[in-house]
Structure 1
């Protein structure tokens, strides 16, 4: 995922908080002591550089998360939903995490034109999609995930960059996927430049601002950030548990 300019990224996080649909939750392992609130950790594929580190950290803390999958290019030179990643996704299924679509080609829904929507691809080209084509974009990861793991995705999706349009949301809803955005405080900032937003600042900001019910968003790997935030996940979860937070996945009712 390409990094956005810092002001735009933060403004986008605030604006997109309203796109999140209220979804029932499946609780994960509770924090020690009374639970004072519930948070929802979510991860988009990105370049998968820290996929194993993040999985190991979640397992060590007995925390379940929700992963949003796209066929993105990885640091290994393959793609996140290639057969080479089957063992990784199979292990996450066995651990009990939740999974949603992040679109097949990781394009950006830009604007509606009549009953269609303009879809900007990673290479800069744009296509105009009707409702069926939007549905196909969301079903691509679902089909591949079932081929890799024997399990369908949960009926959830997240638009790349969080950008949606009314037509895109309606098409997704019609083919069975509910959009999951994130809370303003849940924007961890792992795609922002580390020289401007160092890890300790992002960590402390999250610990100070996150509140009950917030959806937290990060990536399994980001191309642009020089000092990756993923190694801070251990401190983040420890700190949030210390404040009495529990964690849950985002799932819809059957």
Structure 2
């Protein structure tokens, strides 16, 4: 029997994932309001559900209280006297309390104590640590991390709808994979204390927009000139003999980077690939076979090379991404780097159609202004060969000669080398320390794009 597909009552074109525990209407993930193990479609249904269950509980309690009265016909005159006396005492206590409150109002006592009671309702608000700033994102989900008092309940609302409530672990709270709607999302976080006190709202405005073809087909060579951010990137092709030392340096310095790997690299060095992912780095697509895409090597022109088609390029992407998923269990970032940096408008559009944005490296006039280290060149007699010291000096001098310093630069190094000595990657810690001295913060390419 074919299972019937239900659609959300609020979004008729979206498949429903749940039903409301009160009204039974089908709702999608974005409309669900989880509370205490139940799912509701609105605050109204949640309220009615709570009222309904409260009434049931009260009737159950009343029934339990009156059940013993069935045996009253067997009670002696002394028992009846005790019942009447107890009832009289309860009624007297009620009216005495009411009289006391009325007298307090007349004397103004309640006015004097009211401000303190109101002040006690407000507690210290939670601190949001991630995301670090408002703005636009291109992912449909978002993680929210922060700090609050250990015994406070922290609640999250998206666009006015309660989404989730959590208890901090220690002082840290996390809302994972919060679903965003297209457009502006108003995220509100509030803390509630055990005594009923509540904090002011902490608000974030996040704009979610899926990547457009025009955005994806625009290559990235440098990030924002207004932020002191640097992206260290590494290409993996035919060798990984420098990978462990690079990863050791990044781990020691607490730096997350972006790696562009070919499918053949992933197939040859799965252990290295898994370590890259395990240590929190980002991985983009470097094609499967590392082919030439343009005629630049032949005629210094970036004309699409004969035989290269959109279908072939997509196969290069999909095979690499599929193997990466198989090896790591993770998805590749929607970023790619062309082999040899060979791109043109046609190739960029083909890649955009596959969901990939091209990431190059910061370029300028000549080697001194290019953040391609050429660390792969091993022939010391070649004009393209530069010593490790020259490479370090170039990167650190770049920011000292320009108005915007090293803001937004993207560097390029490789996970393999044919050099026998004077290895540039062994100076990676010097590069990191020098850029930090200039006030730079290290980010992944995706973080740079946010």
TM-score past 0.5 threshold: yes
Residues 222 and 408 in structure 2, CA contact (< 8 A), matched pair in contact too: no
The question of 1:231 aligning with 2:426 is answered: yes
* Structure 2: gaps spanning 5 or more residues: 1-217, 297-302, 364-369, 400-405
Please list, as runs of the form range in 1=range in 2, the aligned pairs for 1:73-222 lying within 5 A after superposition. Answer: 80-82=265-267, 85-111=269-295, 117-118=304-305, 128-184=307-363, 185-193=370-378, 195=380, 196-210=385-399, 211-222=406-417
| Corresponding residue of 1:20 | 219
| Corresponding residue of 2:439 | 244
Aligned pair in 2 of structure 1 residues 241, 163: CA closer, same or farther (>3 Å)? same
Paired with 1:243 and 1:52, the residues of 2 have a C-alpha distance of: 27
Residues 68 and 100 in structure 1, CA contact (< 8 A), matched pair in contact too: yes
Paired with 1:208 and 1:68, the residues of 2 have a C-alpha distance of: 26
Paired with 1:147 and 1:229, the residues of 2 have a C-alpha distance of: 32
- Larger mean Cα displacement after TM superposition, 141-150 or 220-229: 220-229
* Per-residue deviation, 1:86: 2.6
* Per-residue deviation, 1:71: 3.5
Residues 222 and 361 in structure 2, CA contact (< 8 A), matched pair in contact too: no
Residue by residue over 1:211-254, the C-alpha shift from the partner in whole angstroms, topping out at 9 and shown as x without a partner, is 10011111001336753211111111111112211110012889
| Corresponding residue of 1:68 | 260
The question of 1:39 aligning with 2:230 is answered: yes
Which structure has the larger Rg over C-alpha atoms?
2
* Structure 1: gaps spanning 5 or more residues: 1-18, 26-34, 73-79, 119-126
- Larger mean Cα displacement after TM superposition, 239-248 or 141-150: 239-248
TM-score when scaled to structure 1?
Answer: 0.73
| Corresponding residue of 2:245 | 53
Aligned pair in 2 of structure 1 residues 170, 161: CA closer, same or farther (>3 Å)? same
TM-score when scaled to structure 2?
Answer: 0.43
* Per-residue deviation, 1:63: 0.2
Residue by residue over 1:113-165, the C-alpha shift from the partner in whole angstroms, topping out at 9 and shown as x without a partner, is xxx942xxxxxxxx612211111112222111000000010010000111112
Residues 223 and 409 in structure 2, CA contact (< 8 A), matched pair in contact too: no
RMSD: 2.8
